[in-house]
Amino acid sequence: MTERIGFIGLGIMGRPMARNLMKAGFTLTVWNRSQPGIDELVKEGAAKGSSPADVARRSDVVITIVGDSPDVEEVVLGPRGIIEGAHRGLAHVDMTTMSPAVTRRIAERLGEAGIEMLDAPVSGGQQGATDGTLSIMVGGREETLERCRPVLGAMGRKIVHCGPSGAGQTVKLCNQIAVALTNLGMCEALVFAARSGIDPRVMIEAVSAGAGTSWQMENLAPRIVERDFRPGFKVAHQGKDLRLALEAGERVASPLPGTGLVQQMFAALETDGLGEEGTQALVKALERLADLEVQ
């Protein structure tokens, strides 16, 4: 394991992922938009790059996990971006959830500079990032994935090659679509139960035993009943991902009526100042209409 890893984006997901790479024995050079994230990792043994370009210059594989498409464009193609640190054999693995179309455009620009790019967004939240059990959905050349697999394996448990460049992002959006509607079904069932005078805990127990069950029902419904809205995954981030899904759906002419509905509800929650709560706060959109609280 001789690869030198660059890591850009030391947020709530990036920090534990970078730590897992160091634990696995990789040498890390890090960069972040703000200083405190860098200091923390440097204290734990990472080297500090002076810019994304500098990180790229000093690495064989550079990983990015930042906010959204424009942030990726900036650290990759912007001034002192990764592309300026291009060298023979450099691979770029972008683990941000972003637009499949923008991903393909960036991959093309990087390809012209001799840099192989993988899109490798993740599912599993902060807990999965900490435990190294993320699901990683990968788009790009299979050879590049094989080369980077030991690196990804230090951060995730399930690594699925989804197809060419952008395919990882597309499958991540499929994941968010499934999550969004399962979440809505759970929330409608909870509000309907509470409004009907049923103990929502009993409903969760009964429904979890059959065809109505889901990761959301088993993991998030109990938190709602406890009025625990701390984020495993934030309303604002899911709102962004659903906007990406609707944009991509329009581009490929794939109708997403349910996703559109949930996206509008998340947008309303954000407008209402709930962007930092967990996605289970979707129930609040229904509770306000019904004028009650599930508990």
- List b or e across 150-161, with b for residues whose CB sees 16 or more CB atoms inside 10 angstroms: ebbebbbeebeb
Check if 234 is active-site: no
Q: Given the complex with a copy of itself, which of 28 and 177 has the nearer CB atom? A: 177
167 binds a copy of itself (CB under 8 A): yes
At position 290, the amino acid (one-letter code) is A
Bridge-based pairing state of the strands 156-163 and 47-48 = unpaired
Residue 48 sits at φ, ψ, to 5 deg, of -105, 125
Kindly indicate which of the ranges 11-19, 24-32, 85-93, 284-292 contains the residues binding a copy of itself, using the contact rule CB under 8 A: 284-292
Kindly indicate which of the ranges 29-37, 77-85, 124-132, 144-152 contains the residues binding a copy of itself, using the contact rule CB under 8 A: 124-132
162 binds a copy of itself (CB under 8 A): yes
198 binds a copy of itself (CB under 8 A): yes
- Pinpoint the alpha helices (H) of 83-141: 100-112, 125-131
CB of 55 to a copy of itself, least distance (A): 29
At position 121, the amino acid (one-letter code) is P
- What are the structure tokens assigned to 40, written together? 């923390």
Cα–Cα distance between 9 and 245 in angstroms, integer? 23
Residue pair 48/77 in contact (Cβ under 8 Å)? The answer is: no
Range 85-114, binding a copy of itself (CB under 8 A): 100
Q: Given the complex with a copy of itself, which of 23 and 157 has the nearer CB atom? A: 157
With 0-12 / 13-18 / 19 or more C-beta atoms within 10 angstroms meaning exposed / middle / buried, residue 45 is exposed
Kindly indicate which of the ranges 27-35, 42-50, 54-62, 161-169 contains the residues binding a copy of itself, using the contact rule CB under 8 A: 161-169
- What are the structure tokens assigned to 155, written together? 């951060």
Q: Given the complex with a copy of itself, which of 5 and 138 has the nearer CB atom? A: 138
Q: How many binding residues for a copy of itself (CB under 8 A)?
A: 72
174 binds a copy of itself (CB under 8 A): yes
| Residue of 172, 234, 240, 284 marked catalytic | 172
Q: Given the complex with a copy of itself, which of 154 and 262 has the nearer CB atom? A: 262
12 binds a copy of itself (CB under 8 A): no
181 binds a copy of itself (CB under 8 A): yes
Residue pair 223/280 in contact (Cβ under 8 Å)? The answer is: yes
Cα–Cα distance between 232 and 35 in angstroms, integer? 24
Among 67, 153, 222, 249, binds a copy of itself (CB under 8 A): 249
Cα–Cα distance between 244 and 211 in angstroms, integer? 29
Among 160, 225, 267, 268, binds a copy of itself (CB under 8 A): 160
135 binds a copy of itself (CB under 8 A): yes
Among 55, 75, 91, 245, binds a copy of itself (CB under 8 A): 245
- What are the structure tokens assigned to 22, written together? 């160091």
Task: Give the residue numbers annotated as catalytic, written as ranges.
Answer: 172
